Amino acid sequence: MQPSSIDPTLLRSFCAVAETGSFTRAAQGVHLTQSTVSQQIRRLEEQMGCTLLDRSGRHVECTLEGERLLAYAQRILALMDEAVEQLAGATEAVLRIGVPEDFAGHALMPALGALARSQPQLRLELTSGLSQAIWQQLQAGELDLAIVKQRSGSTPGMARWPEPLAWIDSARHPCHGLDPLPLVVFPQGGLYRSEMTHALDAAGRRWRLAYVSASLASLEAAVEQGLGISLLPRRLVGPGHRLLDGMAGFAPVPDVEVALHVRAPLSAPGRRLAERLSEVCEALLSPAAGEA
């Protein structure tokens, strides 16, 4: 017998687990113990008469029935949050977002602008930087949403997309024949930096750090001006660059991922922004976008 109503507390815990892929992170997000969240999910599954979450893998995933319920649960919670916000008056709300530098400019602004126009009382706080730092801030509760670049197969988050990488050199001032090979890299902890040095070590190439910057635009310009070679997203290769793919000593490097992570529970504006950010990433990173 199907329930006539569902406790929204159960739905909130269910959404938290489904969106984070983890009972531990979900419990942190809803400020409950992991055992309490597990009990709530079991109660919800008993009420619905079906299994909602697949717990057999490394990450918790929705079953087919869970995916169907998730869409309704997100809408229900968003409407409830919106009702509370409206009744509370036009008090200022804050939404904290973390993104890599290449997402912080024009690519992101249409989504932020649309949200700001629909929520005049909302204050947006944007942090950009290395993905490692952004991820740590999200885990510490200092961000509500984050786009991070990570190794393939890492924490799935709300959505993820492949980010193909490419070895690039200057078109006018090539460096690929130098020994040791000069490298243009992010600071220590940057994902592309470790992928680059590991690949060169495996190929037996000697290398040295020639230019280090936390700015992606600075790295692109440094490669173009002949300061060294780098490993960067293929979609960012410009006319002043030369691709080294296929050349001896520059073996292909596995794609990394761009993942959208949220810290549950999100406010109604946060849920709307998460949907818009997912659309932005899809437009930039989907295979169809790369072919266009």
**What pLDDT, on the 0 to 100 scale, is given for residue 252?**
86
**What pLDDT, on the 0 to 100 scale, is given for residue 51?**
94
In degrees, rounded to 5, the angle at the alpha carbon of residue 181 between the alpha carbons of residues 180 and 186 is 125
pTM for the predicted model, two decimal places: 0.65
What contacts 191, CB < 8 A, 6 or more positions away? Answer: 130, 131, 132, 149, 150, 151, 256
Is 165-243 a domain of CATH 3.40.190.10? yes
CA atoms within 13 A on the CB side of 258: 24
Which CATH number describes the domain made up of 8-84?
1.10.10.10
Q: Out of 9-23, 54-68, 278-292, pick the least confident.
A: 278-292
| pLDDT of 53 higher than 90 | yes
- Tally of residues, the chain: 292
61-62 and 53-54 beta bridge pairing: antiparallel
Q: Which fold has domain 90-159+256-291?
A: D-Maltodextrin-Binding Protein; domain 2 (3.40.190)
Residue 208 CA from chain centroid, whole number: 30
Confidence of residue 292 (pLDDT cuts 50, 70, 90): very low
Q: What is the pLDDT of residues 113-152, one digit of tens each?
A: 888 888 878 889 999 888 889 999 999 999 999 999 988 8
Confidence of residue 35 (pLDDT cuts 50, 70, 90): very high
Q: Out of 91-95, 181-185, 213-217, 254-258, pick the least confident.
A: 91-95
**What pLDDT, on the 0 to 100 scale, is given for residue 2?**
57
**What pLDDT, on the 0 to 100 scale, is given for residue 126?**
93
Confidence of residue 264 (pLDDT cuts 50, 70, 90): confident
74 is written with which tokens? Answer: 């997100």
Q: Which residue has the higher pLDDT, 29 or 228?
A: 228
**What pLDDT, on the 0 to 100 scale, is given for residue 87?**
67
Segment 66-82 shows an average pLDDT of 89
Angle formed by the axes of helices 268-285 and 64-87, nearest 10°: 130
CA atoms within 13 A on the CB side of 208: 7
Question: If we measure between CA atoms, which residue out of 57, 40, 284 comes closest to residue 159?
Answer: 284
User: Any idea where the domains of the chain sit in the sequence?
Assistant: 8-84, 90-159+256-291, 165-243
Strand boundaries in the chain, DSSP class E: 53-54, 61-62, 93-99, 122-128, 145-151, 159-163, 165-170, 181-185, 207-212, 230-233, 241-243, 256-262
| pLDDT of 42 higher than 60 | yes
Q: Out of 11-20, 82-91, 213-222, 263-272, pick the least confident.
A: 82-91
261 is written with which tokens? Answer: 């992570």
92 is written with which tokens? Answer: 């200022």
Segment 58-65 shows an average pLDDT of 91
Confidence of residue 4 (pLDDT cuts 50, 70, 90): low
Percent of the chain with pLDDT over 90: 46
Give Dmax (Cα) for the chain. Answer: 73
**What pLDDT, on the 0 to 100 scale, is given for residue 91?**
52
Q: What is the residue-averaged pLDDT of the chain?
A: 87
Coil, helix or strand at residue 104: coil
Same fold: 8-84 with 90-159+256-291: no
Confidence of residue 84 (pLDDT cuts 50, 70, 90): confident
| pLDDT of 291 higher than 50 | no
Percent of the chain with pLDDT over 70: 94
Segment 32-45 shows an average pLDDT of 93
What contacts 153, CB < 8 A, 6 or more positions away? Answer: 257
Q: Which residue has the higher pLDDT, 153 or 260?
A: 260
Phi-psi group of 49: left, alpha or beta (phi > 0 → left; psi -120 to 50 → alpha; rest → beta): left
Angle formed by the axes of helices 109-118 and 268-285, nearest 10°: 160
